[in-house]
């Protein structure tokens, strides 16, 4: 990350700012009480058909805070200006220009402005099949296993600049071949530098029990599940379940269920379902409840996402 112990230095115009920080867990309040997007905040969201309808976003956030969430796809991006605070795998980092995000599918993360002026960044969300096909196209050979990144937050100004260039070409849409070549190239470079083949999950005594609880939540995301019911499914006490689930997955069972609902909502909205019907189908109390959680995890409202 290019940081000194206990602080990170971020270039902001002609100033060099120092930020003290310490690692800590994200509270449930932070997960749900996301601040609204203001008039000065801007988001541009679209899907690129050339990359299997890969979701793309450019955003400037001044106050908006992302609740802890994950994606079914990779989440790859870079900061253009300003500073963001992000928590991944229980570690909290300040990131500025030159920083890269290389998040694997299912990786729990959040994000919030690190300075008053906020930050601007660019993101893409390639699915596993797309990423695999890109690696095979670039290398000219079959790729065996599941591609993944061994590092999630890092500092690589040259690679970040290459990503911004590819992203701008994709956004402009004026030179499709140049955009495809640039995006294929930068993704292959990212994997060559920071990729691994298979993620090995951490071994814990409760891993099987926690997986049962996680899978039950995923399979019944639209149902109202009580903690006692989930404890019975896992075979763990309620307190043990909450503590171990957070330690294993960096998120509480309730927050995980909410995130699974949002992931399913994304698919339904992409298929053309209305926000109100999606809210009902995914188990949200009402459309306002759905909109609040959706925006906290995507940065845009369900209507904007559906029409992007």
- Which among 28, 5, 30 is positioned nearest to 18, based on CA atoms? 5
pLDDT tens digits along 70-125: 999 999 999 999 999 988 887 888 889 999 999 999 999 999 989 988 999 999 99
Question: Is residue 59 within 8 Å of 118, Cβ to Cβ?
Answer: no
**72 shares its domain with 211:** no
Residue 291 is predicted with a pLDDT of: 94
- Which among 204, 196, 284, 286 is positioned nearest to 246, based on CA atoms? 204
Please report whether residue 231 resides in a domain.
yes
Q: For residue 243, give the CATH number of its domain.
A: 1.10.10.60
Q: What is the mean pLDDT of residues 60-76?
A: 91
CB atoms within 10 A of CB 250: 22
- Which among 75, 92, 74, 94 is positioned nearest to 84, based on CA atoms? 94
pLDDT grade for 139, boundaries at 50, 70 and 90: low
Please report whether residue 230 resides in a domain.
yes
**24 shares its domain with 53:** yes
Please report whether residue 72 resides in a domain.
yes
Residue 288 is predicted with a pLDDT of: 92
Residue 22 is predicted with a pLDDT of: 29
Residue 20 is predicted with a pLDDT of: 29
Q: CA 13, CA 66: separation in Å to the nearest integer?
A: 25
pTM: 0.67
**177 shares its domain with 249:** no
Least confident of 143-147, 159-163, 198-202, 294-298: 198-202
Please report whether residue 13 resides in a domain.
yes
**164 shares its domain with 45:** yes
Q: What is the largest CA-CA distance in the chain?
A: 58
pLDDT grade for 145, boundaries at 50, 70 and 90: confident
Please report whether residue 201 resides in a domain.
no
**157 shares its domain with 273:** no
Residue 211 is predicted with a pLDDT of: 93
Residue 5 is predicted with a pLDDT of: 31
Q: For residue 85, give the CATH number of its domain.
A: 2.60.120.10
- Residues, the chain, total? 308
**150 shares its domain with 221:** no
With residue 50 as reference, give the H or E element that holds it: none
**184 shares its domain with 142:** yes
CA dist 169 → 77, 181, 182, 186, 250 (Å): 15, 10, 8, 12, 35
pLDDT tens digits along 18-37: 332 222 332 223 322 333 44
- Which among 111, 122, 125, 118 is positioned nearest to 67, based on CA atoms? 111
Please report whether residue 1 resides in a domain.
no
Please report whether residue 265 resides in a domain.
yes
| Average pLDDT for the chain | 81
* Full residue range of the structural domain in which residue 149 is found: 7-196
**217 shares its domain with 288:** yes
Q: Which of 158, 174, 196 is the last residue of a domain?
A: 196
Structural domain count, the chain: 2
């Amino acid at each position: 990350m290019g940081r000194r112990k206990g602080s990170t230095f971020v270039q902001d115009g002609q100033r060099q700012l120092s930020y003290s920080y310490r690692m800590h867990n994200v509270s449930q309040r932070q997960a749900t009480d996301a601040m609204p997007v203001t008039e000065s905040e801007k988001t541009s969201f679209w899907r690129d058909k050339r990359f299997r309808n890969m979701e793309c976003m450019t955003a400037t956030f001044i106050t908006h805070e992302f609740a802890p969430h994950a994606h079914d796809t990779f989440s790859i991006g870079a900061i253009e200006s300003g500073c963001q605070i992000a928590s991944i795998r229980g570690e909290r980092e300040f990131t500025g220009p030159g920083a890269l995000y290389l998040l694997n599918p299912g990786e729990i993360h959040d994000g919030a402005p690190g300075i008053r002026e906020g930050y601007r960044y660019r993101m893409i969300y390639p699915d596993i099949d797309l990423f695999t096909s890109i690696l095979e196209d670039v290398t000219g050979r079959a790729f065996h296993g599941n591609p993944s990144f061994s590092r999630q937050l890092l500092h690589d100004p040259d690679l970040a600049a290459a990503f911004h260039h590819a992203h701008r070409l994709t956004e402009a849409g004026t030179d499709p071949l140049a955009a495809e070549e640039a995006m294929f190239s930068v993704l292959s470079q990212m994997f060559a530098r920071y990729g691994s083949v298979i993620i090995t999950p951490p071994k814990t005594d409760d891993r099987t029990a926690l997986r049962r609880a996680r899978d039950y939540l995923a399979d019944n995301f639209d149902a109202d599940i009580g903690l006692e019911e989930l404890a019975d499914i896992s075979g763990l006490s309620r307190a043990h379940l909450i503590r171990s689930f957070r330690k294993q997955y960096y998120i509480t069972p309730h927050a995980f269920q909410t995130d699974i609902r949002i992931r399913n909502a994304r698919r339904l909205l992409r298929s053309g379902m209305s926000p109100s019907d999606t809210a009902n189908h995914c188990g949200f109390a009402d459309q306002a409840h759905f909109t609040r959680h959706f925006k906290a995890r995507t940065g845009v409202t369900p209507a904007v996402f559906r029409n992007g």
